[in-house]
Structure formats: C-alpha cells, structure tokens
C-alpha cells in the first residue's frame, strides 16, 4: 500500500501520504500559535520543519504526537481520518516522538524508560524486567554498541547515551512516523553524526520523519522537503533541491518566499548572516 | 565482558576501605539501607550498654508493636511523596476510622442491627467497613488533588481539620468503648500473637520464599546471559536473610506469657501446673505480622506492577510520564486511595490496642510517618524512595523513641533528639548526592 522509494534520496511524493495535517489551528493564552497549517509527509521521506523561536513548530508536532489537541483541523494517517487526543492514541497509529527534552524519567533505568507506559508483563501482569532488559540490550546493541549501563538511573548517563535511550524508545516500537524535535541540539559532533546516520537508515526503512531543527545544515543535509514556519503559519514547503540554504534562511527570518524578498531585505539579511 | 557464574570478578582495590566498598557493591545491596541496618544495630547496642535490661525480648515485642502503626502508614507515604505529593491528614484519618470502628462495634451493630459484641463476624465486618471508609476518604482527597488540581498540601491540611472535627461529631466528644474481643487481637498482646510453633512455621515459609526468589532471579539472569552476582555474594545474602528471619522468630518466641495469664489458661484448659508454671511461647504479635504482610505487598506493588512503575515515573518526570501515555491523574488518585486503606489498617491496630476509640487517636502520626519515610531515603524532589527504606526509617525512629524513654528521658527531650537525627540523616543524604555529582 505504501510506495517504497527506490532511491533513498528521492522518495515518491505522489499517492497517499503517510500523514496529512489539514488546516490545523492551535491557540493558547491569547496567542494563535498555529494558524491554518497544512503539511504532509510520505513514506521514506524526511520533511524538515524549520522556523524561529515561537514560530509554532513544537506546537504543531504536539498535535500530531497527542500531547496537545488542535482547536480545529484534521489529521489523516494513510488517508484515513485519525482521532488523536492523547499520546496513547498517537502511538496506536505508529507515531513516535523524540522530544527535545528527551522526556526521560531520570530516576529510572534505561529499560524502564524504553518501555515506559507499555511495559512487558508476565502472564499474571507482573512487570517482566528481565525480558525488558533483554530487549533493551538488543536494541541498544544496534544503536549504540558501547552502551553498557542498563541498570543505573538514566540521570547518570551522558547526553549522547540519554539520547540513544530516547531514540531506542521510538525505534523499538516500529514507528511508521517519527517526529524528531531538535534531535542533535544537546549532542557532540560524533553523536550528531550517529543520529544523522540513524535518520538515513530509518528513512531507507520507509519511515516518514518529521525533523524539527533550527540548525539549517542539519535540515538541508537530511531533509527531502522543507516546510518553513513563521509566526504560526507555513511560509512555504519547498523541495530541498530547488532552494539554497540562504533561501531557507530568508524564509525563516523574513517570513517571505524567495521570490518575494526585495533586494534591500536580502542585503540586510546578508549583513546579518 | 561476561562474568562466569560462580567466579568472583577480579578486584584490585587500592586500599582496604576501597576493597570493602567493592565487596559490598558486588552484592548489589542498597548501601543506604545497609547503613540503616547498621545504625539500628548501633542504636540497640548503645541502649544495651546504657541499660542491659532493655535487651529483654519483651521490650523488642512491645517496641515493634508500638512501631507497627507508623510503619504501615510509612509504606504508603513513600508512594505519596515519590509522586511529588504529601499527606498531612493520615493521623486525623486514622483517628476518624479508629473512632468509626469503636462506634460501629460498641453502638451501631448492637443497637441498630442487634448484633452483639462477640459475634464471630463482627471483627471482619468492622474491618471491611473501615477499609471501605478509607478508600472513600482517599478517593475524595485524591480526586481534589489529581482532577481538580488543588495542591496535596492544601487538600490534606484541610483533611486534617475535617477529620479531627468529624471524630468529635461522630463520638459526641467522648471516648467510645469497648471493641469486640476478636477485633482487639489485631492489636497484639499474648493472645493476639502467633504461638511458638506457628511462628517457626512462618519463619520456615519466609526463609524458603527468600531462597526461592534469590534462586529464581539468578536463573532468569543466567537464561538471558546478564552479568551475575558472584556466588559468594548470593550465599552471603541468603545466609544473612535466613539468619535474620530465624533470629527474629527466636527472639519473639523467647518471650513467654506472663505467669498469671498462663495460669488462667492452664486452669481453663485443665492443664496441670504441678511440674512448674506453664510456659507458653508468645510468638510473633499480629500487628507485626500485618506490618510484614503490608511491607511485602507494597514492595510488590511498587516494584513489580505497572502501577508502581507509573508512580515512580511520574515522580521522576511528570511530563515524560504523561507523554508516555500514562494516566497520571488516575495514578495519583489511586495512591491516595491506597493511603486510605493503610490508614484503616493502622487505625485497626491503634484502636485494638486501646480497646476503643479516643478523641486524640492518631494525633501527630502524620509527622512521624513523614519522618520515617524521609529517614528511609524518600526525597521530596520526587521519584526516589523505597518501601523497605521507610520501614527501616520507622524502626530507627521508634528505636530512639522507645529506647530513650526506657532510659528515662522525657518526651520533650526525645523530640529534640529526633529533630537532630532527622536533620543529620537528610543532611548526610544531601552531602552524599552533591559529592556523587
């Protein structure tokens, strides 16, 4: 039912999208955080969602991950209207989210975090910690073979290790749709490279990835298409190959499509850059 | 690197202290709780030096029965504090349910239903209704906290006033007595104890359970190929645990019924005391049995069930718990309902010991219970604390209290000493955490 991409860099953007978010509106505290936003995501595609602080990127993804309901608009998963009112619903649709804050319970160990909210249990409903540790060892062995600390609280792990736990949580449950909110913000160069490789690998597996970042180069490197948000609205969604990083930067800062930017504004931008 | 079963990993610790530390670490025993057990031993050795008569079995039994009401509540307070809440109402709720038991047995049953005290079902019906009442009270407070969003400090402070007031409303401002005699066995005493033989039987069952759990844990870890504890550590843990169980039973059984009571019993059962007075081993008091049962059940709930995992996850990171799809509000409400059940149990012990309900029953409990949980390692940042730690905390605090009062200190002096202990323990924790960072 899904058209798998033959070449990982050029996924099909025809047919039924994996995700369609139509005319989404979210307002809170007198702020219209997301205005009439429509975006889509195809299997095996990485869509970069960029914008300045407060542009509405995180709020939009919270609608998809079930963390915050939309005031209006609809979400379609594989062409079917989806009711997502809490994180549990989202997970049932195969939507996993890696939050900027990682959303780990620092006092629990890696297996407990990986299975948080959907623990493996024995026949009589007891937590099956051994089976969870075993599964965690297997999935972490793939993601980060150096990871050895399975029984210590994740509080005492390094930034990269904590990130690996958060990613493992999304990967283990066979996400179809993955939301990554600033996945490399807290990481060193080596760990950033690891995350990039992982994104490419997941993409090749046919997973649709919504990548939020304010690092233009991250996005330009990994994304197939880029959606730019400005003050809660989508400025434009462009194919990466049709634009330059400067064009994207212009959209982020000025909130205008490349053709609409005046010479004067462009010069001001270059001065800033 | 895999550790082969039965061989200790090579250790090359630089000095003796480091080596001992490494030895203890390889047993994977919680160091903090290990320290508390040591502290308990030191306290009792100190008390024994000050006055050797305190080391008689009767004192251990009286002390443990006195500690049981606090200990039962402390197991629940751990989960309340772990989930970033507090319950200031436990003392008042204990008093209220205690008064309810007395009213129920002394007035309601005989006057309204014509069931006199002494009917064999009275105790269980009273206890059941008390537990139900505890659940309702917990649900009421838990609902206000979890669903309405009023801070637990405020809700339970209001609960403290409310239930203290209701005690007076319910009783008309007087002590209500008597309780049913069977019900009073919940409070312990010579008859309210598991006799010598049953106590040994229980000891054997518990020891077998400990060995079974240890063996099973090792077997599954080997099955999955996880690193194993060195064999000597397994053996040491098994020996110490089983030894502690049998030592406890031995102490309890070395206390015999008071001669007068034993003589009465002998006459009632036609036993001749011609060969010297009848010796009846007391065994383990029922309140202590209740504490053991509650500890095992609560530990099971906290560590082996989803509910417990949810509580700890919420305490560690409320947002992460919600994003993981945990129904955090229901988890909090359940925690307060559980606290209500424990209040009913604690109230049964307290009211059974008094043979009735008094107006000031449970006064100040909340403070001792919170102190026990905190001494036991529960932290107010949330997410950290253990049931066994709280039990140890209750034992440490009650040991100091009982021991010092035995030595002739008055209660204001004891309170001041407890104040110092509380700050010392928590201060040591804070220092330890800062050093670990």
Query: pLDDT tens, A166-221?
Result: 888 888 888 899 999 888 777 778 878 888 888 888 888 889 999 998 778 888 88
Average of pLDDT values for A228-237? 89
**Looking at the DSSP assignment, which residues form a beta bridge with residue A75?**
A21, A82
Under 8 Å between Cβ of B171 and B334:
no
Same domain membership, residue B106 and residue B35: yes
pLDDT at position B408 over 50: yes
Largest interatomic CA distance in chain B: 76
Residue B208 counted as domain residue? yes
Residue B240 counted as domain residue? yes
Tokens of A244: 């330059």
Residue B87 counted as domain residue? yes
Average of pLDDT values for B384-410? 93
Which of B224, B313, B321 lies nearest to residue A130, judging by beta carbons? B224
Residue B425 counted as domain residue? no
pLDDT at B50: 93
Same domain membership, residue B303 and residue B209: no
Give the residue among B116, B159, B64, B69 at the shortest CA–CA distance from B348: B69
pLDDT band at A2 (very low <50, low <70, confident <90, very high): very low
**Tens of pLDDT, residues B118-160:** 788 889 999 999 999 999 999 999 999 999 999 999 999 999 9
Tell if the CB–CB gap between B317 and A134 is shorter than 8 Å: no
Same domain membership, residue B169 and residue B51: yes
**Tens of pLDDT, residues B203-216:** 999 999 999 998 98
By the CB < 8 Å criterion, does A81 face chain B? no
Same domain membership, residue B276 and residue B260: yes
Same domain membership, residue B261 and residue B177: no
pLDDT at position B16 over 80: no
**Tens of pLDDT, residues B79-95:** 999 999 999 999 999 99
Same domain membership, residue B224 and residue B103: no
Under 8 Å between Cβ of B157 and B217:
no
Same domain membership, residue B339 and residue B212: no
User: How far apart are the C-alpha atoms of A162 and B196, rounded to whole Å?
Assistant: 54
Backbone φ and ψ for B269, nearest 5 degrees, come out as -105, 10
Residue B9 counted as domain residue? no
**Tens of pLDDT, residues B24-72:** 666 666 788 888 989 999 999 999 999 999 988 888 888 888 999 999 9
Number of domains forming the structure of chain B: 2
User: How far apart are the C-alpha atoms of B317 and B304, rounded to whole Å?
Assistant: 20
Buried b (16+ CB within 10 A) or exposed e, A178-208: bbbbbbbbebeeebbebbeebbeebbeebbb
pLDDT band at A13 (very low <50, low <70, confident <90, very high): low
Tell if the CB–CB gap between A105 and B320 is shorter than 8 Å: yes
pLDDT at position B277 over 50: yes
What's the half-sphere exposure (Cβ side, CA atoms, 13 Å) at B280?
A: 20
Same domain membership, residue B174 and residue B52: yes
Q: CA–CA distance from B301 to each of A223, B297, B387 (Å)? A: 46, 6, 10
Which range of residues forms the domain containing residue B201? 196-282
Tell if the CB–CB gap between A134 and B306 is shorter than 8 Å: no
Residue B6 counted as domain residue? no
Buried b (16+ CB within 10 A) or exposed e, B232-242: ebbeebeeebb
Residue B420 counted as domain residue? no
**Listed residues B254, B282, B310: the one ending a domain:** B282
What percentage of chain B exceeds 70 in pLDDT?
Answer: 93
**Listed residues B238, B260, B282: the one ending a domain:** B282
User: How far apart are the C-alpha atoms of B291 and B288, rounded to whole Å?
Assistant: 5
Backbone φ and ψ for A208, nearest 5 degrees, come out as -90, 130
pLDDT at B90: 97
pLDDT at position A4 over 50: no
Same domain membership, residue B131 and residue B66: yes
Residue B234 counted as domain residue? yes
Same domain membership, residue B311 and residue B403: yes
Domains and CATH numbers, chain A: 19-94+175-272 (3.40.50.300), 106-174 (no CATH)
Same domain membership, residue B204 and residue B170: no
**Listed residues B282, B299, B322: the one ending a domain:** B282
The CATH number linked to B394 is 1.10.3470
By the CB < 8 Å criterion, does A87 face chain B? yes
Which of B221, B312, B326 lies nearest to residue A108, judging by beta carbons? B312
pLDDT at position A11 over 70: no
User: How far apart are the C-alpha atoms of A22 and A64, rounded to whole Å?
Assistant: 11
DSSP string, B371-416: HHHHHTT--TTSS---HHHHHHHHHHHHHHHHHHHHTT--HHHHHH
pLDDT at B70: 95
Taking residue B5's Cβ as centre, other Cβ atoms within 10 Å add up to 14
pLDDT at position B14 over 60: no
Tokens of B142: 């838990």
**Tens of pLDDT, residues B116-129:** 887 888 899 999 99
- Enumerate residues 308 to 347 of chain B having a beta carbon within 8 A of any beta carbon in chain A: 309, 312-313, 315-317, 319-326
pLDDT band at B17 (very low <50, low <70, confident <90, very high): low
By the CB < 8 Å criterion, does B432 face chain A? no
Q: Is B44 exposed, middle or buried (0-12, 13-18, 19+ CB in 10 A)?
A: middle
DSSP string, A55-100: SSHHHHHHHHHTSS--SEEEEEETTEEE---SHHHHHHTTEEEE-T
Under 8 Å between Cβ of B286 and B193:
yes
What chain B residue is nearest to A68 in terms of C-alpha separation?
Answer: B323
Same domain membership, residue B231 and residue B113: no
């Amino acid at each position: 039912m899904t058209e798998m991409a033959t070449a990982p860099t050029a996924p099909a953007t025809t047919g039924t999208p994996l995700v369609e978010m139509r005319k989404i509106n979210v307002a809170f505290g007198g702020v219209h955080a997301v205005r009439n936003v429509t975006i889509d995501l195809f299997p095996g595609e990485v869509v970069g969602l960029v914008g300045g602080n407060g542009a509405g990127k995180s709020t939009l993804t919270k609608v998809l991950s079930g963390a915050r309901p939309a005031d209006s608009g609809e979400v379609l998963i594989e062409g079917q209207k989806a009711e997502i009112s809490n994180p549990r619903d989202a997970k049932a649709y195969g939507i996993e989210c890696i939050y900027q804050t990682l959303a780990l319970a620092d006092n629990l160990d890696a297996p407990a975090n990986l299975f948080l909210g959907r623990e493996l249990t024995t026949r009589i409903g007891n937590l099956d910690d051994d089976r969870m540790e075993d599964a965690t060892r297997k999935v972490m062995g793939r993601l980060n073979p150096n990871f050895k600390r399975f029984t210590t609280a994740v509080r005492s792990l390094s930034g990269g290790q904590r990130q690996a736990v958060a990613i493992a949580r999304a990967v283990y449950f066979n996400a179809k749709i993955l939301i990554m909110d600033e996945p490399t913000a807290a990481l060193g160069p080596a760990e950033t490279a690891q995350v990039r490789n992982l994104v490419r690998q997941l993409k090749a597996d046919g997973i649709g990835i919504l990548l939020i970042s304010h690092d233009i180069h991250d996005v330009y490197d990994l994304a197939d298409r880029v959606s730019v948000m400005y003050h809660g609205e989508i400025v434009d969604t462009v194919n990466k190959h049709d634009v330059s990083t400067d064009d994207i930067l212009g959209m982020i800062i000025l909130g205008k499509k490349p053709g609409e930017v005046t010479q004067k504004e462009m010069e001001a931008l270059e001065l800033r850059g | 690197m895999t550790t082969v079963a039965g061989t200790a990993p090579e250790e090359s610790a630089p000095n003796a202290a480091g080596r001992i530390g490494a030895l203890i670490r390889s047993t994977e025993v919680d160091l903090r709780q290990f320290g508390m057990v040591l502290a308990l031993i030191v306290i009792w050795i100190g008390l024994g030096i000050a006055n050797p008569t305190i080391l008689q079995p009767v004192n251990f039994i009286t002390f443990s029965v006195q500690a049981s009401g606090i200990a039962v509540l402390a197991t629940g307070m751990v989960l309340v504090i772990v989930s970033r809440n507090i319950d200031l109402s436990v003392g008042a709720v204990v008093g209220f349910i205690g008064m309810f038991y007395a009213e129920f047995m002394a007035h309601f049953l005989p006057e309204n239903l014509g069931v006199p005290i002494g009917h064999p079902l009275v105790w269980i019906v009273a206890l059941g209704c008390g537990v139900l009442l505890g659940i309702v009270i917990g649900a009421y407070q838990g609902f206000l906290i979890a669903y309405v969003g009023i801070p637990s400090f405020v809700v339970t402070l209001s609960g403290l006033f409310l239930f203290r007031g209701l005690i007076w409303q319910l009783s008309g401002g007087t002590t209500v007595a008597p309780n049913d005699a069977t019900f009073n066995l919940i409070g312990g005493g010579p008859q309210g104890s598991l006799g010598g033989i049953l106590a040994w039987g229980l000891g054997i069952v518990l020891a077998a359970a400990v060995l079974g759990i240890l063996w099973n844990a090792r077997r599954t870890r080997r099955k999955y190929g996880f690193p194993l504890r060195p064999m000597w550590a397994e053996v040491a843990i098994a020996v110490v645990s089983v030894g502690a169980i049998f030592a406890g039973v031995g102490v309890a059984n070395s206390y015999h019924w008071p001669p007068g009571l034993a003589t009465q019993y002998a006459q009632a059962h036609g036993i001749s005391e011609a060969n010297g007075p009848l010796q009846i081993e007391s065994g383990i008091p029922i309140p202590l049995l209740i504490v053991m049962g509650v500890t095992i059940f609560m530990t099971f709930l906290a560590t082996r069930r989803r509910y417990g995992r949810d509580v700890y996850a919420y305490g560690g990171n409320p947002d992460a718990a919600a994003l993981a799809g945990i129904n955090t509000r229901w988890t909090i409400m359940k925690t307060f309902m559980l606290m209500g059940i424990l209040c009913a149990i604690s109230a049964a012990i307290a009211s059974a010991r008094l043979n009735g309900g008094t107006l000031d029953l449970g006064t100040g409990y909340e403070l001792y219970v919170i102190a026990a949980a905190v001494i036991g390692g529960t932290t107010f940042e949330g997410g950290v604390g253990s049931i066994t730690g709280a039990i140890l905390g209750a034992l440490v605090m009650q040991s100091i209290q009982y021991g010092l009062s035995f030595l002739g200190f008055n209660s204001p002096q004891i309170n001041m000493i407890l104040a110092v202990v509380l700050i010392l323990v928590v201060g040591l924790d804070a220092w330890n955490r800062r050093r670990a960072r």
